[in-house]
Amino acid sequence: MYIAINALAVIIFLALAVLLSNDRTKINKQTVGALLALNIFIGWFLTSFSIGREIIVKVAAAFTAVVGIAYEGVGFALPNWVNVPQMNFITAVLLPLLMIVPLFDILTYVGIMPFIIKWIGSGLSYITRAPQFESFFAVEMVVLGNPDVQAVSTTQLKQISKERCLSIAIMSMSCVSAGIVGSYIQMMPAEFVLTAIPLNVINALMISHILYPVKVTPEEEDTSLINSQDARKIPFFSMLGGSIIGAGKLVFIVTVMVISFISLAKLINAGLAFIHPAISLEAALGIIMFPFAWLMVPETSEAWKLAEFMGTKLVTNEFVVMLQAQPHMETFSRHMQCVLTVFVTSFANLGTVGILLGTFNGIVDKEKTDLISANVKYMILSGILVSLMSAGIAGFFTW
């Protein structure tokens, strides 16, 4: 029965996307069908198939090993922060980014990550018949995250139509930077964090096409558009220095955002308590998200908890929810762990809308930014629906 309800959830989420589409007549059913089939296969392969699960375990072990090496550097500078019974959030989760982010930037600089992106993007476009640039962009989102993924695609974003530019903005709501995955797996089950990443790529491509379908002509699909970026590189150590400084800024930004969001949530709860002790921000958001949560986790008590986490994530960020959920993860069922982890593993929240609007405003012309600003609702819908689809598909195979 539970599996049937979970399958119904995926159908309902997809139907909602179609119902809320800007123009249902332009939706390419072949592309949507291919993307959905590919996503179901990936969900099954990574969660239920022995080879797929082994791949996930090995990748998770590799990330854990990299984080362990990062602690060596942190421990050298701050031994009294590392050599303790329980490391604090900044030390355990964020400071390893000072090594992990530059590592991915080095892999990008020497051409390894661009090579992977090129071939995965090409394969994705060939299998699904999705436009090539959109396919490349979906894969790049995993490696770079916002706003870097838009920055490296500046030339293409300036050349494509304003409608395709909006479609890219809608897709960008589901970014997740590979450099930050090492932080996620310190708080949530690594196997589900890593499962969420490819699911988000496919679902972002699919949901953006459904919500705002754009027909691409053969002329627009010219492959020269994809390879038009400036190939010149800055000196290696200039790149490395900038990457390390950027990682430091990221650590600071996440730290202050977590402190601010959690403090503000506590302040709101304190104010709501004057109305009634049972009223809280989490409870209010939980009521809104409960129908969606119950479709994925039919056990009522866990569904309420999932709904609260889902709502909190959308108005704050994934780190806030991961910190709140971490102490309770062992008490949750495996299915609940899977659905919750996959749902929160992305940058999809209201704060990301502001980041994207600012990023596109600095890259493309006013006509394109005006169109994006006028369709923020599709960006928010995309972030929610992609997270729901990914969680629903992964949960279907995990009980």
296-353 per-position pLDDT tens digit: 998 888 999 999 999 888 888 888 899 889 999 999 999 999 999 999 998 888 778 8
Greater pLDDT, 124 or 391? 391
Q: Dmax of the chain from CA atoms? A: 62
Q: How confident is the model at residue 224 (pLDDT cuts 50, 70, 90)?
A: very low
Residues 6+ apart with CB under 8 A from 109: 233, 236, 239
Whether the predicted pLDDT of 118 surpasses 90 = no
CA distance 126 to 120: 10
Whether the predicted pLDDT of 217 surpasses 80 = no
Q: What is the pLDDT of residue 13?
A: 95
Mean pLDDT of 65-87: 87
Q: How many CA atoms lie within 13 A of 46 on its CB side?
A: 27
CA distance 329 to 341: 10
CA distance 392 to 338: 9
Any idea which of 29-33, 93-97, 141-145, 242-246 has the lowest mean pLDDT? 141-145
Residues in the chain: 399
Mean pLDDT of 277-306: 87
pLDDT tens for 368-384 read 989 999 999 999 999 99
- Mean pLDDT, the chain, integer: 86
> Per-residue b/e over 292-323, b at no fewer than 16 CB within 10 Å?
bbbbbbbeeebbbbbbbbbbbbbebbbbbbbe
